[in-house]
Structure 1
Amino acid sequence: MTGVPRTALLLGLAGLIPFLWGVLTRYSPALQDLTLSLAGPRFVAPYILLYYGTIILAFMSGVLWGMATRADGEVASLGYALSVIPAIWAFLFTGTGPVSSAGYLIAGFLGVLGIDWFFWRNGLAPSWWMTLRVPLTAVVVLCLGVVVFG
């Protein structure tokens, strides 16, 4: 991930921890039991994957809104409109059961990646943006896939 600022990279990678933790608690009964006893059910799969995924999808709306402020005219209008889609998507399509919610979150994160590309292509995102976003999104999608397929 050359070219990605160190802080952005470290925070992006740290943001994957709850997703990875969800996968670990899904496949390790001992870790799931330990987590349940120490932290409660919100911190094991599928709950942590779904709740944290919903929060991060909505968070991405704020990130995109900030990028839209760098544009003018029609590109700005489109940027603002696109930036609210992830939060609205998370609001409308989660809470429908674990498998369907995870599937909708996967679709939402892949959609955000498309919006990321639009912002990057129009010079609203940093030059390194897609270098960071593609692998982070891939990990998130794979982790959420555990709820859908696992």
Structure 2
Amino acid sequence: MNNRIPLSALVLGASGLIPFLWGVASMVAPPPAGIGLEPLGSAYLGAEVIVNWGKVILAFMSGVLWGFATRAQGWRAVLGYAVSVIPAIWVFFMPGDGLAGDALALLAGFVGLLALDWAFAWAGLAPAWWMRLRIGLTAVVAACLLPVVLG
């Protein structure tokens, strides 16, 4: 059983953290005016980019779990497909009132996703290295969401 995270998965997973990290950095030290970011607007800065990107990633992870469900048979496949859509449904119906509320709902969603990741890994449907990757990525995402939650 190879428990080593493939380099491509590690690089792509870490790349997915860039908007989260950029959001926090731009909250702490807003980029100076005149560097060409004005046309992008606030959706690509601070708390807004963290929340917007968090919604994209949480919904995307439903597709990843769906892929794991294809490895199951019978009732386990049915259950796998059913629970794989939970993150996308959570994003769609996500409670939240403003950026702080949305960030709190996303934080809960990513913690719930980690539980689903564990369940797929425990069932032998995810690669052996999956939880090592997901725990690290989720820790960074949670750390980036917390400043938005706390305002």
The bucket for the TM-score relative to the shorter chain is over 0.9
Change (3 A) 1:142 1:123: same
Aligned to 1:12: 13
CA 1:118–1:46 in 2, change beyond 3 Å: closer, same or farther?
same
Retained in 2: the 8 A contact 1:32–1:44?
A: no
Instruction: Report the equivalent of 2:75.
Output: 74
Report how many aligned residue pairs link the two structures.
148
1:46 offset after TM fit, Å? 1.1
Alignment-derived partner of residue 3 in structure 1: 4
Distance in 2 (alpha carbons) for counterparts of 1:23 and 1:45: 6
What is the CA distance between 1:39 and its match in structure 2? 3.0
Question: Structure 2 regions of 5+ residues with no counterpart?
Answer: none
Deviation at 1:139, TM superposition (A): 0.3
Q: Does structure 1 residue 102 correspond to structure 2 residue 103?
A: yes
| C-alpha deviation, 1:38, in angstroms | 5.5
What stretches of structure 1 of length at least 5 have no aligned partner? none
* Distance of 1:95 and 1:116 partners within structure 2: 24
Question: Residue 46 of structure 1: SS of its match in structure 2?
Answer: helix
1:51 counterpart = 2:56: no
CA distance in structure 1 between the partners assigned to 2:36 and 2:74 by the alignment: 50
SS in 2 for 1:55: helix
Report the TM-score when normalising by structure 1. 0.93
Q: Distance in 2 between matches of 1:142 and 1:36?
A: 25
Q: Describe how 1:25-64 pairs up with structure 2 within 5 A.
A: 25-29=26-30, 31=31, 33=33, 34=35, 36-37=37-38, 39-64=40-65
1:43 maps to a residue whose letter is Y
Distance 1:114 1:26 in 2: 29
* Aligned-partner residue type, residue 132 of structure 2: T
Q: Do the aligned partners of 2:96 and 2:104 also contact (CA within 8 Å) in 1?
A: no
Using structure 2 for the length normalisation, give the TM-score: 0.92
What root-mean-square deviation, in Å, do the aligned CA atoms of Structure 1 and Structure 2 show? 1.6
> What residue identity is the alignment partner of 2:12?
L
Identity of aligned residues (%): 53
Q: 2:137 is matched with which residue?
A: 136
User: Offset of 1:32 from its aligned partner?
Assistant: 6.3
In the alignment, is the contact (CA less than 8 A) between 1:35 and 1:44 conserved in 2? no
State the one-letter code of the partner of 1:70: R
Runs of 4 or more off by more than 3 Å in structure 1? 32-36
